[in-house]
């Protein structure tokens, strides 16, 4: 939003106060609030499932003709559906950004039958009617075409703020610190990483794992319980959500960034790590994995404990290769 505002574009965001199944954002409702150079309008949800909001529908119907373009984020939700339908009815062009919702993992593990019906009845029509469908990687572009061959797809990577100044990383005799930094969610493969770390630490006693991020309280609690059950639990550190200088400090102390996601349409945290000259180890489900391996900025591993363990040990056992990949990653983050 700030980037568009800097180009002289007026940007308004219309959304709900939804903040997870059992939570709502503590924000004023129905009035524009200044944020990042634009205005945000929040409306109350009536249901957690599908995020139904009649006030949002009413506002969109009253105001959508005031805009030149509507940028819709995600699928399989009420706000996205009504925004597209109202824009189409009013003759206002809209861009549709799936936001990873068309990845195979999500389509087959989270309400698969309901999503197949919804795709047939709603989402394909919305994608065909869009001025363009925005994918954030070549992998996501293919995911879109797999479900909607006739829609127009453009690839526009996510914008990521990266440090402009050269990264000065402390010299180390041994590479020992693994960083996981992302939303703590079942799709991130954190259970696999914890088990792989525990096995790797048996062969590398100095190994440490830092877990940064937050998520649904019940799931975060289950991850902490799993970590506490491991033999090398004392080498695992949870730091919660981090921003700004605290995030940069974590990247500075990390020797390897690991994200073994089952589904990731782009991978903002991966780009952030590369921008800080940290080599990355990701799954082939991360949208930019081909670009990462093609630039020799990191490696991929299956979403399974044994191959992930082996790759962690292989990468950390070659400090010169890690430095090279870190430099390549920073170059890739800036060039692409």
pLDDT tens-place string over residues 165-218 = 877 766 666 768 999 999 999 999 999 999 999 999 998 889 999 999 999 899
| Cα–Cα nearest to 78, from 6, 36, 165, 16 | 16
| Rounded Cα gap, residues 127 and 153, in angstroms | 9
| Rounded Cα gap, residues 202 and 228, in angstroms | 16
Q: What percent of the chain has pLDDT over 90?
A: 78
pLDDT of residue 167: 72
User: In this structure, are residues 329 and 280 in contact, taking their beta carbons and an 8 Å threshold?
Assistant: yes
Residue with the bigger pLDDT between 259 and 22: it is 259
pLDDT surpassing 70 at residue 72: yes
| Rounded Cα gap, residues 4 and 36, in angstroms | 10
| Rounded Cα gap, residues 296 and 315, in angstroms | 12
Residue with the bigger pLDDT between 189 and 162: it is 189
20: CB partners within 8 A, 6+ apart: 216
Q: What is the pLDDT of residues 257-268, one digit of tens each?
A: 999 999 998 999
Average pLDDT over residues 141-162: 91
Average pLDDT over residues 137-141: 93
Burial group, residue 124, by CB count within 10 angstroms (0-12, 13-18, 19+) = middle
User: In this structure, are residues 270 and 329 in contact, taking their beta carbons and an 8 Å threshold?
Assistant: no
Average pLDDT over residues 6-13: 94
User: In this structure, are residues 157 and 336 in contact, taking their beta carbons and an 8 Å threshold?
Assistant: yes
């Amino acid at each position: 939003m700030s980037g568009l505002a800097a180009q002289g574009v007026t940007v308004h965001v219309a959304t709900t106060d939804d903040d997870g199944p059992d939570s709502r954002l503590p924000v004023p409702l129905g009035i524009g609030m200044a944020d990042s150079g634009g205005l945000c309008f929040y409306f109350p949800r009536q249901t957690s499932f599908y995020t139904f909001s009649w006030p949002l529908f009413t506002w969109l119907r009253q105001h959508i003709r005031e805009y030149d373009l509507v940028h819709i984020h995600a699928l399989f939700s009420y706000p996205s559906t009504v925004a597209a339908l109202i824009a189409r009815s009013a003759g206002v062009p809209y861009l549709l950004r799936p936001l990873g919702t068309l990845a195979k993992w999500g389509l087959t593990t989270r309400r698969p039958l309901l999503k197949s019906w919804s795709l047939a009845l709603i989402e394909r029509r919305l994608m065909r009617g869009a001025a363009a469908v925005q994918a954030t990687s070549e992998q996501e572009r293919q995911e879109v075409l797999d479900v909607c061959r006739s829609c127009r797809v453009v690839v526009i990577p996510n914008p990521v703020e990266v440090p402009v100044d050269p990264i000065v990383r402390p010299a180390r005799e041994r590479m020992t610190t693994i960083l996981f930094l992302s939303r703590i969610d079942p799709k991130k493969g954190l259970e696999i990483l914890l088990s792989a770390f525990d096995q790797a630490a048996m062969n590398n006693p100095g190994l440490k794992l830092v877990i940064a991020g937050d998520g649904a309280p019940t799931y975060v609690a289950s991850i902490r319980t799993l970590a506490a059950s491991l033999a090398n639990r004392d080498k695992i550190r949870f730091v919660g959500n981090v921003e700004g200088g605290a995030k940069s400090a974590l990247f500075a102390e990390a020797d390897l960034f690991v994200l073994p996601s089952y589904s990731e349409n782009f991978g903002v945290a991966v780009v952030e790590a590369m921008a800080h000259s940290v080599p990355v180890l990701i799954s082939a489900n991360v949208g930019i994995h081909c670009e990462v391996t093609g630039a020799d900025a990191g490696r991929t591993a299956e979403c399974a404990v044994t191959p992930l363990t082996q790759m962690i040990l292989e990468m950390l056992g070659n400090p010169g290769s890690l430095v090279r990949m870190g430099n390549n990653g920073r170059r890739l983050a800036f060039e692409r």
